[in-house]
Chain A
Amino acid sequence: MRYLALAAALLLLGTLPLWAGGIYYVNIASQILFYAVFALAINVLVGYAGLVTLGHAGLFGIAAYTGAQLLNGGHGHAAIAVGALAATLAAAALFAVLALRGTGIGFVMITLAIGQIVWGVAYRWISLTNGDNGVSISGRPSPLGLSLASPASFYWATLGVFLVAIASMAVFVASPFGASVRGTRDQPRRMAALGYHVWLIRFLAFLLSGFWTGVAGLLYLYYNQFVSPQAVSLTASAEALLMVISGGSATLLGPVAGAALVVIMKSVASAYIERWNFVLGAIFVAIVIFVPEGMVPGAVRLGSRALALGRPRVPAALPAADGEARR
């Protein structure tokens, strides 16, 4: 049953450009996919490691800006990918060393401050980043000789990256490393007593998150062929966090659903209302008040409650503590 659903989902995703009925929808789907990669990356920290970050747009932007500079410097596409990801990883390592001096709220505040500093560089260091005007690149790359110029081909390439990302997340969650990351979230002191190096585990989780954030940043650059300080702003970090939280953190599919929700809301909302930021803020407040555990686990909870209506009442376990909901 599960394999059948997976095969159906793959088939639907793989053939999307053939039935989506227009370039507009294919482009929306591409955006959902690379934002989903971004959300999956943040979920490693927010969901599994229990470290809420508000500075990830900084890493996202570092990847995009580095990629754009290398591309405009005339480098090949392999060099761009390697260079941008290396720069992002180095920045992630630096951020992690700083941010992991605090946990809980301290971590949030430090990541927020660092993210704003990256924004400040993007906005003010005009000789490097061209300031508010941003950096544009001429044309999408053609890795391995495949052109990504058309929306459909870009979509398929993004889909490929997305599938690798989600598969790597599935492996990560099931791995001993994934278990130890969750351990540092739930019981850091016990983990330390058991001989685990809590700091190192968190640091590595941060690097994993940074790597996929960099990948998403590069895809963003290739998609838009442009990057500006807006991509690095606190709003961008918050949007990405909203994707994770709204979908359900510490679940595999939650961030993907959240990315879809936010991207679709944003495109639909911006067609009808100009106040996207207000809507974004209102969704934050509403989610916290009504479905604090996120849409996917929230739907599971509400669904099981609806199913349970016909049956005799048994004390329900919390969905978040359930192994199935986590996966």
Chain B
Amino acid sequence: MSLWLVLAVNSVTLGGLLFLLSAGFSLIFGLMRIPNLTHGSFFMLGAYLAASLIQAGLGFWTAALLSGLLVGAFGGVIERLLLRRLAGAELAQVLVTLGLSFMVADVCLKVWTGDPIRIATPPALTGTARVAGLTFPIYRLAISVIAVAFALALWALLDRTRLGAMIRAGVDDPAMARVAGIRVSRLFTIVFCLGAWLAGFAGVIGGPILSVYPGLDQEMLPLALVVVILGGSGSLLGSLVGSLVVGFLYNFGQAMFPELAYVVLFLPMLLVLVVRPHGLFGRQPV
């Protein structure tokens, strides 16, 4: 019985991490129509940078904040220097982002070597909590809380602020948004930085449970893709629901069919593609 509960907690934790990762991916895809295949690299890069910053003596949360910002700035540079020139050219965007992800992976391998690095759990959150007679690791609960806080903050940003209204306008109809005086190209940069920052931050807070190792990027990217295919692109709610579904399937799949955990992920994607090809919460493309 308690095994299932532990699995459920782990699933929510992974779902929370995936939400942070895929919300940015989904926003970038929804607004800019860019399939950002460097997103997994942002996640991995964030974790590696934080590991180095912590080794240099910074605290966990400072390091998380700082490396998230660094990854966000890196994303901004990519957007400004490369993706900007390729507006509308899907194939070129796929190639450039994929090429960049290979380059980032190789640089990481050179700098941080091939050994897995485990980021230490922040001291305040080590240990376990007893709730209703069951013990839970505090850190995993904390990740879930952080993910919920981010989901609320993102929702408030998109739904309640002027910037959010401009982003939504850009998602709906970029040409009309431009005519209305919104600087859509600046929005692109903001959203891309935001997405990269979220991914990098997710990598850091995922560090204590996943550790960071070469290939982490290519492991996380398909998970984000499945989330977006499930939830529909450009939808925050879709990312949240999709992340939780993927988190549960992945953990329970791994526990019950350890050799087939990846295939279990495939099933809901198959179902959604057949029934609702634009995702559970995505809108029919015009």
A contact residues vs B (CB 8 Å cutoff): 46, 52, 54, 98, 101-102, 104-106, 108-110, 112-114, 116-117, 119-121, 124-128, 233-235, 238, 241-242, 245, 275, 277-278, 280-285, 287-289, 292
| CB of B253 to closest CB in A, whole Å | 11
Contact partners of B37 in chain A: CB under 8 A: 112
Partner of B263, one of A46, A120, A233: A120
Given contacts A52-B90, A245-B95, A288-B92, contact A235 B102 (CB under 8 A): yes
Beta-carbon contact of B98 and A238 below 8 Å = yes
For the complex of A and B, 3 pairs with smallest distance between CB atoms = A120-B262, A284-B99, A281-B102
Expressed in whole angstroms, the Cα–Cα distance for A133 and B261 within the complex equals 19
Partner of B102, one of A112, A119, A238: A238
Contact partners of B92 in chain A: CB under 8 A: 288, 292
Residue B265 lies at the interface, judged by CB distance under 8 Å to chain A: yes
Beta-carbon contact of A277 and B102 below 8 Å = yes
Partner of B33, one of A105, A124, A281, A285: A105
Contact partners of A278 in chain B: CB under 8 A: 102-103, 106-107
B254-286 interface (Cβ within 8 A of A): 258-263, 265-266, 269-270, 273-274, 277
Given contacts A113-B269, A116-B218, contact A124 B99 (CB under 8 A): no
Q: Which residue of B lies closest to A284 (CB)?
A: B99
Given contacts A105-B90, A109-B225, A117-B266, contact A127 B102 (CB under 8 A): no
Contact partners of A285 in chain B: CB under 8 A: 82, 95-96, 99-100, 103
| CB of A53 to closest CB in B, whole Å | 10
Beta-carbon contact of A288 and B95 below 8 Å = yes
- Between A46, A116, A126, the greatest number of chain B beta carbons within 10 A of the residue's beta carbon is seen for A116
| CB of B3 to closest CB in A, whole Å | 21
Q: Which residue of B lies closest to A124 (CB)?
A: B259
| CB of B157 to closest CB in A, whole Å | 25
Expressed in whole angstroms, the Cα–Cα distance for A121 and B261 within the complex equals 9
Expressed in whole angstroms, the Cα–Cα distance for A3 and B230 within the complex equals 53
Given contacts A110-B229, A110-B273, A245-B95, contact A117 B222 (CB under 8 A): yes
Partner of A101, one of B259, B262, B277: B277
Expressed in whole angstroms, the Cα–Cα distance for A17 and B261 within the complex equals 46
Expressed in whole angstroms, the Cα–Cα distance for A125 and B253 within the complex equals 13
Residue B178 lies at the interface, judged by CB distance under 8 Å to chain A: no
Residue B111 lies at the interface, judged by CB distance under 8 Å to chain A: no
Q: Which residue of A lies closest to B269 (CB)?
A: A113
Beta-carbon contact of A275 and B90 below 8 Å = no
| CB of A90 to closest CB in B, whole Å | 15
Contact partners of B103 in chain A: CB under 8 A: 277-278, 281-282, 285
Could you pull out 12 A-B pairs where Cβ atoms are within 8 angstroms?
A52-B90, A54-B94, A105-B33, A109-B228, A117-B266, A127-B259, A278-B102, A282-B99, A283-B99, A285-B95, A285-B100, A292-B89
Contact partners of A121 in chain B: CB under 8 A: 260, 262-263
Contact partners of A238 in chain B: CB under 8 A: 98, 102
Partner of B105, one of A114, A124, A277: A277
| CB of A229 to closest CB in B, whole Å | 11
19 extra interchain contacts, Cβ-Cβ under 8 A, other than A120-B263, A282-B103?
A: A101-B273, A110-B229, A117-B265, A121-B262, A241-B95, A245-B91, A275-B106, A277-B102, A277-B105, A278-B103, A284-B98, A284-B102, A285-B82, A285-B100, A285-B103, A288-B92, A288-B95, A288-B96, A289-B85
Expressed in whole angstroms, the Cα–Cα distance for A190 and B192 within the complex equals 35
Expressed in whole angstroms, the Cα–Cα distance for A245 and B258 within the complex equals 38
| CB of B87 to closest CB in A, whole Å | 13
Contact partners of A54 in chain B: CB under 8 A: 94, 98
Residue B101 lies at the interface, judged by CB distance under 8 Å to chain A: yes
Residue B226 lies at the interface, judged by CB distance under 8 Å to chain A: yes
Residue B162 lies at the interface, judged by CB distance under 8 Å to chain A: no
Residue B35 lies at the interface, judged by CB distance under 8 Å to chain A: yes
Residue B138 lies at the interface, judged by CB distance under 8 Å to chain A: no
Q: Which residue of A lies closest to B91 (CB)?
A: A52
Beta-carbon contact of B262 and A102 below 8 Å = no
| CB of B108 to closest CB in A, whole Å | 11
Residue B29 lies at the interface, judged by CB distance under 8 Å to chain A: yes
Contact partners of A52 in chain B: CB under 8 A: 90-91, 94
Residue B86 lies at the interface, judged by CB distance under 8 Å to chain A: yes
Contact partners of A277 in chain B: CB under 8 A: 102-103, 105-106
Residue B110 lies at the interface, judged by CB distance under 8 Å to chain A: yes
Beta-carbon contact of A105 and B29 below 8 Å = yes
Contact partners of A233 in chain B: CB under 8 A: 218
B1-56 interface (Cβ within 8 A of A): 29, 33, 35, 37
Contact partners of B265 in chain A: CB under 8 A: 117
- Between B91, B96, B225, B270, the greatest number of chain A beta carbons within 10 A of the residue's beta carbon is seen for B91
Expressed in whole angstroms, the Cα–Cα distance for A114 and B258 within the complex equals 19
Given contacts A109-B229, A284-B102, contact A101 B274 (CB under 8 A): yes
Beta-carbon contact of A281 and B106 below 8 Å = yes
Beta-carbon contact of B277 and A102 below 8 Å = yes
| CB of B40 to closest CB in A, whole Å | 10
CB-CB contacts of B96-139 with A at 8 A, as 1s and 0s?
10111111011100100000000000000000000000000000
